[in-house]
Structure 1
Amino acid sequence: MLWKVLTRAGTALTAGAAAVALATVPASAAGYTAFAFSRSGTTEPTIYDFVNTATSSLDMTMYELQDTTAVNDLIALKKKGVTVRVILDRQHQSENSSAYASLTAAGVGVVWSPSAFVYTHQKTITVDGTTSLILTGNLTSQYYTTGRDYGVFDDDSRDVASIEKVFNADYAGTSVTPTDGDHLLWSPTDSRSRLVSLVDGATKTLDVEELELSDSTVVNAIVARAKAGVAVRVVLETPSDYAGEVSSIKAAGGKVVGYSDPDGFYIHAKAMVADYGLSTQAVEAGSMNISSNSLSSNRELGLILTGTGVAQSVATTIETTFATDFTGGTAA
């Protein structure tokens, strides 16, 4: 089995029960290989190469699809006889209209996302029903070299089966209650409780990199960890948009930096690393922002890996990138 990480410049549980759920995720469920996604855009072909490995099927759920190379690759796969199915966010029909029209004209199965969710903000590609790429960023070319995002290739069979089950339901517009496989968290099902459990489990350090920071339950959990003496660091896009939350974290002893330049580096990531390098280590990346809408009303997908075994390279890639972004940010 193979996991890879990219970085690029896009039913509630009790806290105790959620902590147990995290602790019991099998550390040996898959192998993990991490790599950095260059802000120069030179490693963008990593995604294209993955798409083009499809021999029988490709299923994509994407909030925004504005990458003509990716669209053309999907069309080429269709012409080769691969079954290609795409879900695009219905609230972004103007942004996705070109991709939708091109795919439809080529005979690719493409639908608008279910109206049951405010947004389908998930960004996932599954190839041949065996490997899924879970992204924090969209397939939007203009942001490839200017934004911070992460992604993970996941070929854990239970994870992929869960992702495909949800895809099939969302594609058909039918209801489904997602299951977490070995490593997943979903909105609007359990993402909030899973994130809070990760935060609550931090004993020494907690690093958080986010576009949005407004959900009071998750923010309060971060503040509580800082008050408990955990070294909390946050990298945030536009800290002034979350002045109250930032003040609370700083008052508790945490540190927050931001970027906030609309023409410069853009923190679009959604990731956390707790207790880096320790036996209690946990790392999270996914499409969900720390906002009530994202956690309660959207279709979102992420994953959490625990421990320091075969998953270490995933944590190292995200933590190393986070450290660079933290150093380069402006103190809030």
Structure 2
Amino acid sequence: MAASQRLLVMPDDGAQAVVDWIDQAQSQLLLKQFKLQSEAIEQALLRAQQRGVRIRVMLNPHTSGGDRWNDEAFALLQGWGVEVAWTSERFPVTHEKSMVIDGQAALIATFNLSEKYFTETRDYGVVSHDPRVIEQVMAGFDADWERRAFEPRLDVGLVWSSVHSRGQMARVIDSAQESLRIQHPKFVDAVILERLVAAKQRGVKVRVLCGGKHGLSDWDVYDTFSSLRL
């Protein structure tokens, strides 16, 4: 594999980019997903199952508001004989969206595997062939699958929620010397807001893209707009 990383950009690359990637799997596929509602992805998983790929899927059981998006996909995969489980009860929700193919490449994405995210929303995914990244994503998957604690290494370029992510992101922001470009729907964390203000005060050019109320829970709207005014 020539490139160590590949960027997927949604909605430009669309579902087919992910389908093509799943279709490359020969021996093993690990999938952890917040929302699975794409027939194209489900059919790609079925094809992989039929050609003998061992597939393990973890789906988040419900949103923080209680919506159960994945019940239908769970039953469908289970009916096909795919190994499928709910994500770990250690977390109120598992928002991770990752996939590992044959232990050779890992996809870490902001997009759900749902038609909306392939056609309407701006999202990104990074396909990494870095062995350290792949090993860590697989280790995190196995820990959640087996319902045990996981302590990630923090020196391989991945940011892990929930315990480590605030400090990791603060250090990234604090390292900026010239510019910060930030694209995010919500700004509700005081520590991160303080680090952004401090970056601006030390002369860093800070630019922020926010989609307004789109995609925000009702309880996040006021904090986000207060932060944006600051």
SS of residue in 2 equivalent to 1:132: strand
RMSD of the alignment, in Å? 1.5
Aligned equivalents of 1:6, 1:210: Cα separation in 2: 17
Task: Identify the match of residue 174 of structure 2 among 176, 180, 200.
Answer: 200
Q: Report 1 or 2 for greater relative contact order, CA contacts < 8 Å, sequence distance ≥ 6.
A: 1
Aligned equivalents of 1:101, 1:148: Cα separation in 2: 29
Q: Percent identity?
A: 29
Which amino acid is the alignment partner of residue 161 of structure 1? E
Task: Identify the match of residue 99 of structure 2 among 110, 125, 132.
Answer: 125
SS of residue in 2 equivalent to 1:139: coil
Task: Identify the match of residue 159 of structure 1 among 124, 133, 136.
Answer: 133
CA deviation string 1:124-174 (max 9, x = no partner): 010001100110111111232210001100110011111101101111222
SS of residue in 1 equivalent to 2:25: coil
Aligned equivalents of 2:85, 2:43: Cα separation in 1: 17
CA deviation string 1:2-28 (max 9, x = no partner): 21001113xxxxxxxxxxxxxxxxxxx
SS of residue in 1 equivalent to 2:69: helix
Q: Which consecutive residues of structure 2, in runs of 5 or more, have no partner in the other structure?
A: 214-220
Q: Which consecutive residues of structure 1, in runs of 5 or more, have no partner in the other structure?
A: 10-36, 249-332
Counterpart in 2 of 1:210?
Answer: 184
Q: Is residue 2:218 matched to residue 1:244?
A: no
Task: Identify the match of residue 84 of structure 1 among 20, 31, 55.
Answer: 55
Task: Identify the match of residue 20 of structure 2 among 49, 52, 65.
Answer: 49
SS of residue in 2 equivalent to 1:66: coil
Counterpart in 2 of 1:62?
Answer: 33
TM-score by length of 2: 0.89
Aligned equivalents of 2:114, 2:161: Cα separation in 1: 22
CA deviation string 1:80-123 (max 9, x = no partner): 11100001002247211111111000010110011110110000
CA deviation string 1:228-266 (max 9, x = no partner): 221111001226641221121xxxxxxxxxxxxxxxxxx
Q: Is the Cα contact below 8 Å between 1:64 and 1:95 reproduced in 2?
A: yes
Aligned equivalents of 2:199, 2:212: Cα separation in 1: 23
Which amino acid is the alignment partner of residue 179 of structure 1? R
Counterpart in 1 of 2:8?
Answer: 6
Which amino acid is the alignment partner of residue 175 of structure 2? G
Which amino acid is the alignment partner of residue 83 of structure 1? R
Q: CA deviation at 1:181?
A: 5.6
